[in-house]
Each structure stands twice: as structure tokens, then as C-alpha cells.
Amino acid sequence: MAKKATPPASTSAPRVARTAAQNKAVKDRDTKTLTRIVDFADDVAKKSLAGKEPKLAIPLRTKSNTIWNKKQGILQMGDAAAERELFNLNQAKQFMQTCLHSNSVKQLIDAEKTLSLRGMFYKGLHTVAGTKGEKTFGDQDESDGILEDLEVSLEALREELHIYAKKRGTMVGNITIVDNGDEIDCRRMGTGGYAVPGIVEPDVIQFKKCEAKFVLHVEKDTVWGRFNEDRFWEKHNCILTEGSGQPTRGVRRLLRRLNQELGLPVYCLLDCDPWGHYIFSVIKQGSISLAFESERLAIPDAKFLGIRSKDYKACGLSDDVQIMLTDTDIKRAKEIMAYPWFEGHKGWHKEIEGLLNNGFKMEVESLITKDISYVTEQYVPQRLKDKDWLE
């Protein structure tokens, strides 16, 4: 009689349950957010019934209301705010949009579910009763702006509102994480890597095991693919991330957590142009529009590894890699040079002046003209060895 085959053992890692402390943290956070939403709704109702003007103070997310905290090395939001009034015809629609999204957030928290920014737009989208086709929101940008207003006015981050942005960004390397109960070995992610989600808070993602010595963050997926294929993260014992251009909050928050919680240095390999410089500025100091989140997003000790204006000559690159600066590029470069956090930095002034004197910008991919793996086998290893970076 033939022996019955034994099914192969499962290779998938078991789900990891949240700890009691994590569950309590989530519950406390949700309770705090719900209390703020209910207090806001009660205030609107009480004032309306009493014939008083319901108002909502919205902190201004503008350059004039942004403070450079030199001691902490981050941007912070000031105290200036604009009032949004229900009985003001010019502000009534935005006021009601704020109430509409507040109610949707309450429903999400009650249901213990999350929605994307796009999902929130559709959840609140409908024709206003008594109008001739007037919609609650004209487009998603209008909806997203109201959600940011809610964040700052309720002093509750987007993740605390159970809202996330579209996934954009990838990670691979010597770290094992737990994502919503699933154990993920980032050393075994194939060519695609681990897609960084929009919400990466400790109650969602935990760091289980990490042997990496540093994080290398690159600007684009094309560059990340070269480093992953060459297994740079394995040879140099690191974590490799990319942000598909301007990194999302999820990617920035993950980088911040890797830096603060695990003590990993963060090196950024970005293009030699004003946009690459701006991306680094956002990663390091924070951004004007999200200054209220800098303390949980910014990485003051992040380092700019390249590409640098000196590399055209230092690496012996050809004229083929030159991308001539436009008037917009030149204007943006001068604006960045005037940022308070760059203004007193001799290294950055020399770098931006070098870019302007060259008259052209360069992408990380330009190093391929030297050799397919020049960037992974020579450029970055040598820069790390020489500690040749900008802070």
C-alpha cells in the first residue's frame, strides 16, 4: 500500500498579535481623537442653537507662519491661524466640508477601519440637497486640503484620523519587520521589494530584528533597482529605500523611526539639481506645508551623499550627462540657498554655487555612463569610506 504523502510544512511566518500595551496605545489615541471631534461638533451645535457664530481656527500652513528651530534643526509651525466661519458666505462651504470629513473620520474610528485620501474624497462626495448639481467637493485636491485643515485644527495627525495616502516607496535590506501582524523578512523580497505603506506607526509596524548599520535612501525606483540587483544592501549591511521622487509621509516617517528608534544613520543619494536639494531639505528639516509634523518626520542628522556638482570633473563624466538649467531651476536654486537652514552652511553654499556655475544639472543615473554598476561598486562605497557628504 502506497504511503500517504505528508504535506509540506508551511513556510509562511505566523501572525504576530499586538501586545496589550500596543492595543492600549491605539485605544487611547482613538479616544483622544474622537473626543476632539465630538467637542468640535458640540461647539458648532451649541453656538448655532444659541444664535452665535460657530467658528473654527485653522493654523496657517504658510512660509510666514513657519519657524526655523535652529537648536532642534527642524521647521516648526507658528501660532498664526485663520478663522473659518459658518455664517460667512465665503467660508460656509469649507466649514461644512470640515464638518463632513469630521463625521467620516468618526465613522472610521468607530468601525476600526482606515481609508485612503481618494476613498475619503468619494465618501464625502454627493450633491448638496436643494442645489442644482452643486457637489460637496469639486475634486480630490479640495478634499485633501480640508483633511489637512482637520489635522492641524484637531491637533491629530492623519494616521490618527485613520487616513492614509497612496503607497509609494520601497524597502529591502537586513531587517525583519512585523506589518499588521505579518512577519516580513526584507532580505527576501525579490526584485520588487517591500512596498512601504502609508501608515507606519509602531502599532502597525514593529522592528523585530535588524542587523543593518545604516540606511541608504535613493531618489528613484530606477536607481533603487540597480542597488537591489547588485545586492548592495547585503554587501554593505544596510537598508535600501526609495521614495519615487518626493517621499511620502509614510516613507519619511519610516526613515525617521529607523533613525531614532534603531539609531541608524540615513544617507541620501539624490540628483544634483534644485529638486534633489529640496527633497533632502524636506527629509532633513521638514517642509513648510507639514511643519506641524516635523518632530515625527524630520531627520536633522541626515546626510547628502550625492550626486554633487563636483562630480562632473571628479568622476570624469562626459558632456552627454549635462541637463542645462532652466530659468525655473536657477530661481529655485537661489531660493533654496536663501533658506535659513542652508544660509549659514558653507558646504551647501559652495554646492549650490557649483551647480549654478556649471550651468547644468545631473541625475544619479548619469553615473551609468562610467559603468553599469559604477554607482554601487565605486561611487557610494568610496563616498562612505571618505565620509564625503553634506550635512
283 domain residue, yes or no: yes
Q: Is position 324 within any domain?
A: yes
Same domain, 135 and 187: no
108-142 burial, b at 16+ Cβ within 10 Å, e below that, comes to bbeeeebbebeebbebbeeeeeeeeeeebbeeeee
Same domain, yes or no: 256 and 281: yes
7 within some domain: no
Quote the pTM value: 0.86
Q: Is the pLDDT of residue 368 over 60?
A: yes
Per-residue pLDDT of 318-350, as tens digits, reads 999 999 999 999 999 999 988 888 877 889 999
148 lies in the same domain as 177:
no
Other Cβ atoms within 10 Å of 66 Cβ, number = 21
Q: Are residues 143 and 193 in the same domain?
A: no
Q: Are residues 195 and 130 in the same domain?
A: no
- Does pLDDT of 223 surpass 70? yes
User: Based on the domain organization, do 270 and 190 belong to the same domain?
Assistant: yes
> Average pLDDT of 135-154?
92
145 is a domain residue? yes
Q: How many CB atoms lie within 10 A of CB 147?
A: 20
pLDDT in tens, 36-81: 899 888 988 898 888 888 888 888 888 888 888 988 988 888 989 8
**pLDDT in the model for residue 17:** 67
Q: Residues 6 or more apart from 375 whose CB is under 8 A from it?
A: 223, 226, 227, 269, 364, 367, 368
d(CA 78, CA 141): 24
Q: Residue 67: inside a domain, yes or no?
A: no
CATH number at residue 148: 1.10.10.10
What was the pLDDT predicted at 86? 87
Distance CA 20, CA 189 (A): 30
> Over pLDDT 90: what percentage of the chain?
62
Of 136, 164, 192, the residue that ends a domain is 164
Rounded average pLDDT over 177-192 = 93
Looking at the domain assignment, is residue 27 inside a domain?
yes
181 and 46 in a common domain: no
Give tens-digit pLDDT for 245-280. Answer: 889 989 999 999 999 999 999 999 999 999 999 999
Residue 379 bears catalytic tag: no
For the chain, what is the domain count?
Answer: 2
Q: Which residue has the higher pLDDT, 337 or 212?
A: 212
| Residue span of the structural domain in which 34 resides | 20-52+89-164
Considering 132, 164, 196, which residue would you say is the last residue of a domain? Answer: 164
> 240 has which bridge partners?
172, 216
Q: Which of 122, 164, 278, 339 is catalytic?
A: 122
Q: Where a domain ends, among 119, 148, 164?
A: 164
CATH, residue 277: 3.40.1360.10
Judgement on whether residues 290 and 343 belong to the same structural domain of the protein:
yes
H-type alpha helices, the chain: 20-49, 92-111, 117-124, 140-154, 221-229, 232-235, 249-262, 274-285, 294-297, 311-314, 327-337, 340-343, 346-358, 374, 380-386
> 3-state class of 219 per DSSP?
coil
